[in-house]
Structure 1
Amino acid sequence: MSRTVTVVLVDAAGRSLGALPPFDVPDPWWQQVASIVEEAHRRHGVEVAVLRLLDADRPAPPGGHVRYLAQVADVPPVPLEPVVVDLAPHPLRMPWAEVGGPARSVAWATEELRRLGRPVTAVAQQRTWNLSAIWRLDTPTGPAWLKQLPPFARHEPAVLHWLLSTPDRTVDQGVRVGVDLRRDANSLIDEAAGGVRVLAVGGEGRVLVGHVPGEDRYGAGEGERMAIAAGHHAVQVRSVREVDRLVAGGVPDLRGLGPGRWIRGRLAGHDVTAAGRLLDGLDDRLARVRDCGLPDTLVHGDLHPGNVRGDESRRVVIDWADAFVGHPAFDILRLTEDLAPAAADRLVATWADRWRADAPGSDPRRAVDLLRPVAPLRLAAVYAMFLAGIEPSEHPYHVHDVPAALARAAAAARP
């Protein structure tokens, strides 16, 4: 599947100049803009900074014919097609989607890298949408990455700083570190989080991070997911005594009955009929989860293999923008949700064995069973939060995710 794009150009004052002729790019995902920038340059010799999605000919990604707004420094030496486009400001527009926004962010990152003795030799825009903007900045000592985050995700740098702080072997609150984990704590924690180094944090959600070699591990099989789960367990055990510190640093607090209040608040105004019975009994269900005896930990919030980078021997968990403090079972449920039932059960069983060893007297399997329908319910609330925080032109990214997640939650809650 590919994508046909029309790039509507504006100048530095925000005046519409017209549109480049439509062209195809190979990747179908609307937020990926590297191929748009490259193809505009290859076809027309135009250097563009993509600002935001304007509209599309289908209700949701991927593929189709998609229009974007992009800024140019000079009027391009190619014929432009006249267009009608709404350029009115919007209060929920992200800073990087404004005229001049990408240039300001890249200038900040370039200066920070210069101060670190790493002059920038090339810049390549990678992604822009309501959840983030990402650029790659090449330097003589290797690439760095500029990521800009919306207000509801700006706790990610705090999580990254904590992940690379000195591991503390002593864990209290009724949790002990087993012999094998104690022996291997450094290597497991390094595998799970090491390498995502924060180089600088700036205004408007900007964070500059070091390069993590390897590839995103989409399609990882059962064995590799076992290794991901083992490394992540070490991080979660380490975080048990640090949850108050993480919350003080801005990480969302979804401990105890907190998810119930948070979910209901985010879903207010949405049609929740499909999951009405689950919502009605949510506080009772969460109380039973608490009785299972597992501690609250740092939760990644979106622990699928695509958010793990590396190779088959070394992996780094990336993209902590959805992180929160809460029940550790949410992450194993996310890691296993697209596996065949037998494989998923083996991963959950191994996860439960670790927690029974490290939290004596707990019942991890029962916690997973109780939270299985809550996991997609929480995701529905996350998507609703996204929709509440972004301008309407970008609603197609998520508007269908809310009812889909509610339907999955309702199905998982059925006896």
Structure 2
Amino acid sequence: MSRIVTLVLVDPAGTPLGALPSYEVPEPWWQQVGAIVDGARHRHGADVAVLRLLTADRPEPPGGRLTYLAEVAAPPAVPLAPVPVDLAPHPLRAPWAEPGGPARSLAWATAELDRRGRPVTAVTQHRTWNLSAIWRLDGPDGSAWLKQVPGFFRHEAAVLRWLATAAPDLVPTLIAADDTGRVLIEHVAGEDRYAADPAERSAIAAAHHAVQLRATGDTGRLVAAGVPDLRGPALARWIRDRLAPHDTSVVADLLAGLDDRLDRVRDCGLPDTLVHGDLHPGNVRGDGRRATFIDWGDAFVGHPAFDVLRLTETIDEPTAGVLLDAWAARWRADAPGSDPRRAVDLLRPVAALRMAAVYAMFLAGIEPSEHPYHLGDVPACLKQAAALA
């Protein structure tokens, strides 16, 4: 599967210039823009910065025919087709999705590296969508990554600062951060471990347990630093608030009994801790010698079972059972008298319900043209929660 992309170009002032001829890129995932940038350069001699998605011919990713807005310093030699485009401002538009936005973020990152004696010689745009913009900055002293996120993910920098002390060998090195959602981190060798086998998932779970155990004594500090507090009743309120605009009839009973269910979870005796929030193997990067936990924007303070449920949700039940048994044994040893497996059983539908609320939060915080990225996720997660309740 691939994409057919059309780039509508604007200059740095936001003046529309027209559209490049459409071309095909091999990456099907809409937010991946590296091949789009390469295609514009090699096919049309245009050095572009992709700003945002404008339209798609299908309701959700991947693949299809898509139109993006892109910024270019000067019009390319190839003729541009006049196209109608709505460039009206939107209050929920990401700062990197506006003309001049990428240049401002890259100027900040380049200055931070220059101050450290690390000149930048090449910049590559990798991703842009409603949840993040990502660039790689290369130089003679190595590579760094610039990531910029919306307001609901800005606590990632606070998490990385805490982890730099608590578990420095398990997380990327934070070089710099500001208060606009920008973080600059060191390159991490290896590849994202989407295809991790059961043995590797087991190692991931064991390493993450050490982080969570360390965090049990620092939850107050993490919350004070801005990490969302989703402990007990706060989680129930947070879920209900975000799902209020959506049709939740399929989980009406689960929502009605949520406070009672979370009380029973509390009685299982496990401590609250730092939760990664999206601990699938793709958010672990490894090279065979070291595993690094990445993408902490979904992190919150809450129950540790949410992470092991995410880690085991895409594997068969017997394999997941082995990993859950090992996870439960670790917590029984570190929290004597606790009942981790009961907590997992009680939280299984809540985990799906929480993900529905997360996607609802995304939809409430992004402009409508970006909704196709997530529109189907809320009902899908609600249906899953109902099936597990």
The answer for the alignment partner of 2:128 in structure 1 is: 128
The one-letter amino acid of 1:306's match is G
Shift of 1:30: 0.3
Q: Paired residue for 1:334? A: 310
**In structure 2, what is the Cα distance between the partners aligned to 1:202 and 1:242?**
23
Preserved CA contact (<8 Å) 1:217 1:311: no
For 2:339 and 2:287, the matched residues in 1 are separated by 33
The residue that corresponds to 1:78 in the other structure is 78
CA distance in 1: counterparts of 2:12 and 2:358, whole angstroms: 35
**Does the residue aligned with 1:147 lie in a helix, a strand or coil?**
strand
**Cα distance, 1:202 vs. partner?**
2.1
Q: What is the deviation of 1:82?
A: 1.4
Shift of 1:203: 4.0
Task: Give runs of aligned pairs for residues 222-241 of structure 1, distance below 5 A.
Answer: 222-241=198-217
**Partner residue in 1 for 2:228:** 252
Q: Could you tell me which of 361, 367, 380 is aligned with 1:404? A: 380
State the partner residue of 1:138: 138
Secondary structure in 2 aligned to 1:127?
strand
Provide the C-alpha distance between the structure 2 equivalents of 1:67 and 1:211, rounded to a whole number of angstroms: 31
**Residue 265 (structure 2) pairs with residue 289 (structure 1):** yes
Q: Write the deviation string for residues 214-239 of structure 1: whole angstroms up to 9, x where unpaired.
A: 00001111000000000000000000
Contact 1:212 1:309 in 2 (8 A): yes
Question: d(CA) in 1 for partners of 2:168 and 2:99?
Answer: 40
User: What are the ranges of 5 or more consecutive residues in structure 1 without an aligned counterpart?
Assistant: 168-188
- Give the equivalent residue in structure 2 for 1:183: none
| Equivalent in 348, 351, 362 of residue 375 of structure 1 | 351
Q: Give, in angstroms, the shift of residue 164 of structure 1.
A: 1.1
- Given that residues 224 and 312 in structure 1 are in contact (C-alpha distance below 8 angstroms), is that contact kept between their aligned partners in structure 2? no
CA distance in 2, matches of 1:201, 1:314: 24
> Hey, what's the Cα distance between the residues in 1 that align with 2:134 and 2:308?
27
Query: What is the deviation of 1:152?
Result: 0.3
Residue 159 of structure 2 is matched in structure 1 by 159
* Partner AA of 1:342 in structure 2: P
Q: Deviations over 1:317-373 (max 9, x none)?
A: 100000000000000000000000000011000000000000000000000000000
Q: Deviations over 1:182-236 (max 9, x none)?
A: xxxxxxx455x24x11111124211111111000001111000000000000000
Partner of 1:322: 298
* CA offset digits 1:160-193 (Å, max 9, x no partner): 111111x4xxxxxxxxxxxxxxxxxxxxx455x2
Output the aligned Cα RMSD: 0.8
Contact 2:54 2:369 (C-alpha < 8 Å) held by counterparts: yes
C-alpha distance in 1, partners of 2:350/2:233?
A: 12
1:311: Cα distance to partner?
Answer: 2.6
Describe the SS at the equivalent of 1:254.
coil
Stretch of structure 1 that moved more, 196-205 or 373-382? 196-205
Q: Tell me the amino acid that sits aligned with residue 261 of structure 1.
A: R
Q: Which residue pairs with 1:23 in the alignment?
A: 23
Contact 1:308 1:315 in 2 (8 A): yes
Shift in Å at residue 12 of structure 1?
A: 1.6
Equivalent-residue separation in structure 2 for 1:204 and 1:33 (angstroms): 22
Q: What amino acid is aligned across from residue 204 of structure 2 in structure 1?
A: I
Q: Distance in 2 between matches of 1:364 and 1:269?
A: 33
Corresponding residue to 2:277 among 274, 288, 301: 301
Identify the residue that residue 118 of structure 2 maps to in structure 1: 118
Task: Give 2:286's aligned residue.
Answer: 310
2:91 counterpart residue number? 91
| 1:32-85 deviations in Å (ceiling 9; x for gaps) | 001100110000110000000001000000000010000010011111111111
Summarize deviations over 1:235-275 as a string: whole Å, max 9, x none. Answer: 00000010000000000000122111000000011000111
Code of the aligned partner of 1:155: H
Per the alignment, residue 10 of structure 1 pairs with: 10
- Deviation sequence 1:297-318 (CA, Å, 0-9, x none): 0000000000000133321110
196, 199, 205: which one aligns with 2:181: 205
TM-superposed CA distance for 1:393, in Å, is 0.2
- Find the residue that maps to 2:93 and give its secondary structure: coil
- Provide Cα deviations, 1:279-313, integer angstroms capped at 9, x if missing partner: 11100000000000000000000000000001333
* Counterpart secondary structure, 2:21: coil
Counterpart of 1:90 in 2: which secondary structure? coil
Q: Which amino acid aligns with 1:346?
A: V
Identity %: 70
Letter paired with 1:8: V
Please state whether the residue corresponding to 1:247 is helix, strand or coil. Answer: helix
User: Which amino acid in 1 is paired with 2:71?
Assistant: Q
Structure 2-normalised TM-score? 0.99
For residues 33 and 179 of structure 2, the distance between their equivalents in structure 1, rounded to whole angstroms, comes to 23
Alpha carbons 2:196, 2:281 under 8 Å: kept: yes
2:147 alignment partner in structure 1 = 147
Corresponding residue of 1:393: 369
Q: Verify the 8 A CA contact 1:9 1:71 in the aligned structure 2.
A: yes
Which amino acid in structure 1 is aligned with residue 210 of structure 2?
A: A
2:154 and 2:180 in contact (8 A); partners too: no
- Offset at 1:14? 0.8
Q: Which residue is 1:179 aligned to?
A: none
Q: What's the offset of the Cα at 1:399?
A: 0.8
Contact 2:10 2:72 in 1 (8 A): yes
